[in-house]
């Protein structure tokens, strides 16, 4: 089972008790070699220096070699004691960090236990066909909602984190509007969810051509602006003409129009190993209203290379197979209803991965960040340390999601600086992921959209290698999303490419009225 304090997928360090035991063993050996403290060599050297004139008169130049050897031995022992003391200081500092992290995470762990208790109670009271509960739990806001789009007060409206499986409408209810919204039933923790086949996800990703915007070919993309300066004037003119043609061909006002780009890469240091990331970027139309919506998911698996890849694939497939039909066939645009669909689908995916871990005695897990773009709002979900950013030309880059990691908690508590996030020893440890428990707490954010906004969904392989100012610069380019994704990937590789890199960029060309 995934431990709350030891969920890591980078280079694992020696456990703290083993380091402490090694330090005490080294101390015992050094005391034995030195003959106690202070070492006998130091005392002998001090006595020899005090009697040096008398010894020189008695022995002459023959005294130099023994004294030189004694000095060298004293210096070696001094270096050994200094190194041991420095190692002891680092060990004490590590113990202090560990205690501080546990203290900061204690409240979070209590919340997780309470969520598990609530999920267990919900399962005990589960009755198939019961019609007394709504399809999803109402979402109360954690603080007042932000103003309408365009207001300078705030960019996002954080909703309360949702925990536990959300019940659905009764199975025996007559066909109605509720039946067209979401057609899956409520689930207990031991329900057998069958594994989807890879062709199922491929079919979901293959949206009709008429529902997608045409991306430029690789040859055409070369004419668009990239980080290389001093483009020839003809290339700039052709790029501007193509952009003008694209904007001129947009549908009438009142329709959401977006462009998407996506790329994933195993990175430089893991190029010969399986890519543990999985992503999906889909653009479809709703059956009844004809509204265009976009659904994007980035999942970063953990638990070993093969397990990590399987975990992220399983979650992405399950989430899309449940969310897409409900979003396509529904007619409501209510915020609570839409976020309920997304959270329910993610809870099912988490439960499926949890059951796989229980059946195979594995420790698979994955982070996930997802975004639904509909009308003039983006509904963002997050579990773990994969991130979603919003780039707005007037205000720059804003991180929408909050990392569920040790370093993020230390940063919010003021224990470390922002730069320490990228080099802290526990930077790869997270305290919330999918697959660890039967239910998972999901952060939900509502982001008002404006024309010209860009959403960036990425795994930690990007933001750990590329700092936010550089991400903001690349998102500000006038290139299409595909080219921007390629630029972000290249920046991550140039920064070291230590981890798998997954990037999705969504550009809002026009928002719904």
Q: Quick: pLDDT tens for 414-454.
A: 888 777 777 787 777 888 999 988 999 999 999 999 999 99
Q: Is 44 within a domain?
A: yes
Condensed to tens digits (0 to 9), the pLDDT of residues 441-494 reads 999 999 999 999 999 999 999 999 999 999 999 999 989 999 999 999 999 999
> At 374, is the pLDDT very low, low, confident or very high (cuts 50, 70, 90)?
very high
How many domains, in total, are found in the chain? 2
HSE on the CB side for 496, CA within 13 Å? 11
Higher-confidence position of 180 and 307: 307
Per the structure, the complete domain to which residue 261 belongs is given by 257-510
Q: Is residue 492 part of a domain?
A: yes
For residue 105, the model assigns a pLDDT of 62
Report pLDDT digits (tens) over 48-57.
Answer: 788 878 877 7
Mean predicted confidence (pLDDT) in 329-355? 92
* Residue 238 counted as domain residue: no
Would you mind telling me the total number of residues written for the chain in this entry? 513
305 within domain boundaries: yes
Radius of gyration over alpha carbons of the chain, in Å? 29
What is the DSSP secondary-structure string of 258-293?
EEEEEEEE--STTTTS---EEEEEEEEE-TTT--EE
Distance of CA 503 to the CA centre of its chain: 12
Q: What percent of the chain shows pLDDT beyond 90?
A: 36
- Where is the domain boundary, 117, 146, 166? 117
Q: What is the predicted pLDDT for the residue at 128?
A: 40
Using one digit for the tens of pLDDT, what is the confidence trace for 237-279?
A: 555 555 555 555 555 556 899 999 999 999 999 888 889 999 9
Give me the mean pLDDT over the 217-235 stretch: 42
Q: Is residue 6 part of a domain?
A: no
Q: What angle do CA 295, 257, 457 make, to 5 degrees?
A: 35
pLDDT value, residue 138: 32
Split at pLDDT 50, 70, 90, the class of 317 is very high
Residue 509 clears pLDDT 70, i.e. is over it: yes
Residue 279 within a domain: yes
Which residue, of 66, 82, 117, is where some domain finishes?
Answer: 117
Question: Structure tokens of 501?
Answer: 């890199």
Residues sharing a CB contact under 8 Å with residue 268, sequence separation 6 or more, in sequence order: 493, 496, 497, 498
pLDDT at 117: 65
At 116-138, the pLDDT tens digits run: 566 555 545 544 433 333 333 33
Task: List the CATH number of the domain containing 262.
Answer: 3.60.40.10
Non-local (6+) Cβ contacts of 284 within 8 A are 207, 211, 292, 293, 295, 324, 327, 328
Residue 307's contacts (CB-CB under 8 Å, 6 or more residues apart) are 301, 362, 363, 364
pLDDT score, position 55: 77
- The more confident residue out of 158 and 63 is 63
CB 302 within 8 A of CB 276: yes
Find all residues with CB under 8 Å of 398, minimum gap 6, and list them.
Answer: 155, 156, 389, 390, 391, 392
E strands, 112-256, in order: 157-162
Of 94, 117, 140, the residue that ends a domain is 117
Looking at the domain assignment, is residue 4 inside a domain?
A: no
What is the pLDDT at residue 232?
43
Establish if 504 belongs to a structural domain: yes
What's the token pair of residue 107? 């409240």
* Per-residue pLDDT band at 412 (split at 50, 70, 90): confident
What pLDDT is attached to residue 114?
A: 66
| 313 and 462, same domain (yes or no) | yes
Task: Give the up-direction half-sphere exposure of residue 482: CA atoms within 13 A in the CB hemisphere.
Answer: 12
Alpha carbons within 13 angstroms on the beta-carbon side of residue 478 total: 13
């Amino acid at each position: 089972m995934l431990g709350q304090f030891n969920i890591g997928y980078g280079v694992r360090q020696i456990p703290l008790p083993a380091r402490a035991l090694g330090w005490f063993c080294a101390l015992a050996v050094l005391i034995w070699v030195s003959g106690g403290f202070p070492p006998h060599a130091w005392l002998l050297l001090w006595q020899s220096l005090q009697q040096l004139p008398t010894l020189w008169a008695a022995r002459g130049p023959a005294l130099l070699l023994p004294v030189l050897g004694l000095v060298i031995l004293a210096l070696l022992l001094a270096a050994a004691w200094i190194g041991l003391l420095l190692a002891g200081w680092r060990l004490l500092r590590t113990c202090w960090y560990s205690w501080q992290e546990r203290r900061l995470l204690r409240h979070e762990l209590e919340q997780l236990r309470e969520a598990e208790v609530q999920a267990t109670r919900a399962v005990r009271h589960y009755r198939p066909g019961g019609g007394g509960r709504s399809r999803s739990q109402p979402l109360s806001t954690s603080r007042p909602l932000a103003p309408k789009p365009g207001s300078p007060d705030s960019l996002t409206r954080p909703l309360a984190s949702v925990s536990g499986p959300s019940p659905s409408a009764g199975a025996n209810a007559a066909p109605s509007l509720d039946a067209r919204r979401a057609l899956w039933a409520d689930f207990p923790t031991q329900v057998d969810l069958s594994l989807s086949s890879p062709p199922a996800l491929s079919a979901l990703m293959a949206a009709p051509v008429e529902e997608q915007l045409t991306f430029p070919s690789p040859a055409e993309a070369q004419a668009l602006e990239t980080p290389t300066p001093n483009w020839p004037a003809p290339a700039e003119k052709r790029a501007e003409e193509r952009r003008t043609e694209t904007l001129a061909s947009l549908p009438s006002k009142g329709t959401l129009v977006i462009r998407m780009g996506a790329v994933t890469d195993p990175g430089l240091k893991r190029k010969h190993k399986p890519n543990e990331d999985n992503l999906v970027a889909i653009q479809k139309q709703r059956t009844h209203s004809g509204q265009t919506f976009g659904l994007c998911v980035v999942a970063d698996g953990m638990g070993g290379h093969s397990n990590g890849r399987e975990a992220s694939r399983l979650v992405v497939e399950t989430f899309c197979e449940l969310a897409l039909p409900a979003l396509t066939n529904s007619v409501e645009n209510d915020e609570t209803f839409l976020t309920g669909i997304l959270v329910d689908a993610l809870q099912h995916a988490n439960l499926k991965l949890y059951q796989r871990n229980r059946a195979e005695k594995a420790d698979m897990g994955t982070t996930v960040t997802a975004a639904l773009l509909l009308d003039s709002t983006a509904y963002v979900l997050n579990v773990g340390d994969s991130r979603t950013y919003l780039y707005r030309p007037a205000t720059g880059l804003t991180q929408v999601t909050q990392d569920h990691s040790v370093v993020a908690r230390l940063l919010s508590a003021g224990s470390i600086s922002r730069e320490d996030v990228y080099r802290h020893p526990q930077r790869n440890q997270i305290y919330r992921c999918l697959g660890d428990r039967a239910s998972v707490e999901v952060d939900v954010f509502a982001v008002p959209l404006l024309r010209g906004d860009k959403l960036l969904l990425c795994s930690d392989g990007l933001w750990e290698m590329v700092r936010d100012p550089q991400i903001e610069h690349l998102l500000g380019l006038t290139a299409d999303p595909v080219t921007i994704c390629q630029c972000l990937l290249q920046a991550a590789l140039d920064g070291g490419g230590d981890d798998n890199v997954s990037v999705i960029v969504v550009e809002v060309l026009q928002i719904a009225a």
